[in-house]
Amino acid sequence: MEAGAFTPAGGGRSVLERSPLARLPDRALKWILTGLSFAILVLLVYFFGKLTSESTTVFDQQGIFSYVFSNDWNPSAQHFGAFPLVFGSIITSVIALVIGVPIAVAVAIFIVELCPRRLRTPMTVLVELLAAVPSVVYGLWGVFFLIPKLRPAMQWAADTFSFLPWVGGHVAGPSYFIAGLILAIMILPIVSAISREVVATVPADHKEAALALGATRWEMIRTAILPYSRAGIAGASMLGLGRALGETIAVVLVIGNAPTIGHQIFDQGYSLAAVIANEFGEAASIPVYSSALFAAGLLLFVVTLIINALARQVVNLGDPERRAARARRKARRTVAGGAPEGGAA
């Protein structure tokens, strides 16, 4: 068919060309999505500015360094040292990652690679249902079931492994360990879901090549699936860490609410999110106290942003395509560096 058949004789618009009115939804969608993207950035900047302005009172009274790194959280004396809270937030989140991430990755690999086909959907639904349980239910379960049932085992572990650093002594019940265990259960659905999607994207020829070379199923998982999925699993772990850092109600119920740095993993402690939820009501009428809690929120906000930035870097470093691109650039630099000597030879 000739091209002229689509062009009107009067030099008007081609029949294949869309009218400006027909293109209007595309332009509208573009501007709406662009506006929403900028709105998220504006919202983050607003949160940061609001928290910073509300925290100036306590920062002016005792200084930022003293607030962040001192160990004395004493509202009655109007002295606020947030380091025990930061320590509690970090240590419970680390415990959650150490316990939860291996289980979540193992569940993801089992569902994708080992689970019978007819059981994959029920298994996936059961794991994802953990995310539907309210955090207060996890906290109450920890108070009335986990702590009484695990306290003898924790005391045995404290006595048996007292030669290890940060282990030993009397076990009170609520502790860093119980809070970390609850958080591990709470982050398991999100880490498992993302890891499952990443594992499912591993090319079939990678797995078939490993099996064709005589690898067992476990060796195929270790050599073909895990290296390819490393970046996605790391990103899922960082998202789980952000979830654990921000958890409030469950941690309030099981960590013990002691604003001190514990001497062992089974001691009571506190966290940034827990202290805000627990003490904001009584601090509303005391400007310095209220400012200290806003500063705790600011610290939590900054720590979360840093973790997200680190997660992005980890994902970028572990991306197979990026690793291959870096290898190609390195090879080109090596060849370019050796070219003069090879030419002279």
CATH of 60-323, one of 2.60.40.10, 3.30.565.10, 3.20.20.80, 1.10.3720.10: 1.10.3720.10
Whether the per-residue pLDDT at 137 is higher than 90: the answer is yes
What value does the mean pLDDT take over residues 172-184? Answer: 93
68-104, pLDDT tens digit by residue? 998 889 888 888 999 999 999 999 999 999 999 999 9
193-204, pLDDT tens digit by residue? 999 999 999 988
Q: Which helix (H) or strand (E) holds 336?
A: helix 320-344
Bridge partner list, 73? 80
**pLDDT band for position 32 (50/70/90)?**
very high
Q: What is the pLDDT of residue 342?
A: 47
Whether the per-residue pLDDT at 34 is higher than 50: the answer is yes
240-268, pLDDT tens digit by residue? 888 898 888 999 999 998 998 988 999 99
Closest Cα to residue 126, out of 113, 115, 137, 136?
115
Q: For residues 138 and 185, is the Cβ–Cβ distance under 8 A?
A: yes
Q: What is the pLDDT of residue 166?
A: 87
Q: What is the pLDDT of residue 77?
A: 85
Whether the per-residue pLDDT at 10 is higher than 90: the answer is no
Work out the mean pLDDT of the chain and round it to a whole number: 86
111-121, pLDDT tens digit by residue? 999 889 899 99
Q: What is the pLDDT of residue 343?
A: 47
Task: Give the three-state DSSP class for 191.
Answer: helix
Amino acid letter, residue 36: L
Alpha-carbon Rg for the chain in angstroms: 27
Number of Cβ within 10 Å of residue 79's Cβ equals: 17
* Cα–Cα distance list, 332 to 19, 257, 319, 327, 339 (Å): 49, 57, 20, 9, 10
Distance CA 273, CA 271 (A): 6
153-172, pLDDT tens digit by residue? 999 999 999 888 888 888 88
Query: Could you tell me the sign of the dihedral formed by the alpha carbons of 326, 332, 335, 336, in that order?
Result: negative
The DSSP-derived string for 106-131 is HHHHIIIIIS-HHHHHHHHHHHHHGG
Q: What is the pLDDT of residue 148?
A: 93
Q: What is the pLDDT of residue 6?
A: 53
296-340, pLDDT tens digit by residue? 999 999 888 887 787 777 777 766 666 666 667 776 777 776 554
Q: Where are the domains of the chain?
A: 60-323
**pLDDT band for position 344 (50/70/90)?**
very low
**pLDDT band for position 282 (50/70/90)?**
confident
